[in-house]
C-alpha cells in the first residue's frame, strides 16, 4: 500500500469543490487516512514547494497557496502517487484533459485546484510538513478486496 499527500488548494476550497474532489478520490477506491483544513504559513508553503525555489513563478505560487485555507489530506492505495496524478490531470490548464479534476474544473494557472505528490520521497516530506504521525488513522476498508 502506498500513500500520498493530496491538498485541495485555496481556489478549490473557495469554489466549494471540496466535496466533488473528495468524491472522485473515493470513487477510485482510495482510502482517506488524514484530513484537516489549514491556513498554510509562508514558511510551510516554501517548504512544500522547495523544489521550485528560485523559479520565476515561485513567489506567486507561495502567495497563492497561502491566500486562503487548504484541505490537507493523506490518502492510501496501490500505486496511488501515479494514479492520483492521472486523476488530477496535467499542471497546465491548456493540457489538462476532460475527465480529470483540472481538465473539468480549472481554467487558469495557478488556480489548478489540487496538489498531488510526485514521488514517494515527496509524499513523505510533504506529509511531515502538514501532519504528525498520530494524525494518520489506520483502518481497514472491507471493500478493499473488490477494488
Ligand atoms: P502541484 O500539485 O501544485 O505541485 O502541481 P504539479 O505537480 O502539477 O506541478 P509542479 O509541481 O511542476 O508545479 C507546482 C505549481 O507551480 C503548479 O501547480 C503551477 O501552479 C505552478 N507552475 C509550475 N510550472 C509553472 C510555469 O511554468 N509557469 C507558471 N506560471 N506556474 C507554474
Ligand atoms: Mg508538483
Domain that holds residue 26: 2-133
Preceding peptide of 110 cis, ω within 30°? yes
Residue 27 falls inside a structural domain: yes
Going by alpha carbons, the residue nearest to atom 13 of ligand 1 is 91
Number of domains, the chain: 1
Taking CA atoms, 27 is separated from 31, 115, 121, 141, in Å, by 10, 18, 26, 14
Residue 45 falls inside a structural domain: yes
Ligand lying nearest the CA atom of residue 60: 1
9 CA closest ligand 1 atom index = 3
Q: Is 48 marked active-site?
A: no
Residue 138 falls inside a structural domain: no
Q: What is the pLDDT of residue 109?
A: 87
Give the predicted TM-score (pTM) of the model: 0.97
Residue 6 falls inside a structural domain: yes
pLDDT per position in the chain (147 positions), as tens?
Answer: 999 999 999 999 999 999 999 999 999 999 999 999 999 999 999 999 999 999 999 999 999 999 999 999 999 999 999 999 999 999 999 999 999 999 999 999 899 999 999 999 999 999 999 999 999 999 999 899 999
Whether the CB of 116 sits within 6 Å of ligand 1: yes
Nearest to 66 by CA among 93, 35, 44: 44
Nearest to 48 by CA among 117, 113, 107: 117
What residues are designated binding site for ATP?
Answer: 9, 57, 85, 91, 102, 112
Residue 60 falls inside a structural domain: yes
CATH code of residue 38: 3.30.70.141
Q: What is the pLDDT of residue 128?
A: 98
Residue 103 falls inside a structural domain: yes
Residue 8 falls inside a structural domain: yes
**Which residues does 89 contact at the CB level (< 8 Å), separation at least 6?**
96, 97, 100, 101, 102, 103, 106
- The radius of gyration of the chain's CA atoms, rounded to the nearest angstrom, is 15
**Which residues does 30 contact at the CB level (< 8 Å), separation at least 6?**
75, 76, 77, 80, 83, 84
Q: What is the pLDDT of residue 94?
A: 94
H or E segment and range at residue 3: strand 2-8
Residue 17 falls inside a structural domain: yes
Amino acid at each position: 500500500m502506498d500513500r500520498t499527500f493530496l491538498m485541495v488548494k485555496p481556489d478549490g476550497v473557495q469554489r466549494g469543490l471540496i466535496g466533488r474532489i473528495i468524491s472522485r478520490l473515493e470513487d477510485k477506491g482510495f482510502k482517506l487516512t488524514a484530513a484537516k483544513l489549514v491556513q498554510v504559513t509562508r514558511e510551510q508553503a516554501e517548504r512544500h514547494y522547495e523544489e521550485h525555489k528560485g523559479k520565476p513563478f515561485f513567489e506567486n505560487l507561495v502567495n497563492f497557496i497561502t491566500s486562503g485555507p487548504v484541505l490537507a489530506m493523506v490518502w492510501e492505495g496501490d500505486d496511488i502517487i501515479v494514479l492520483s496524478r492521472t486523476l488530477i490531470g496535467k499542471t497546465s490548464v491548456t493540457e489538462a484533459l476532460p475527465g480529470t479534476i483540472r481538465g473539468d474544473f480549472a481554467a487558469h494557472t495557478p488556480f489548478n485546484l489540487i496538489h498531488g505528490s510526485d514521488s514517494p520521497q515527496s509524499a513523505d516530506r510533504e506529509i511531515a510538513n502538514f501532519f504528525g504521525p498520530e494524525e494518520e488513522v489506520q483502518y481497514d476498508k472491507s471493500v478493499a478486496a473488490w477494488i
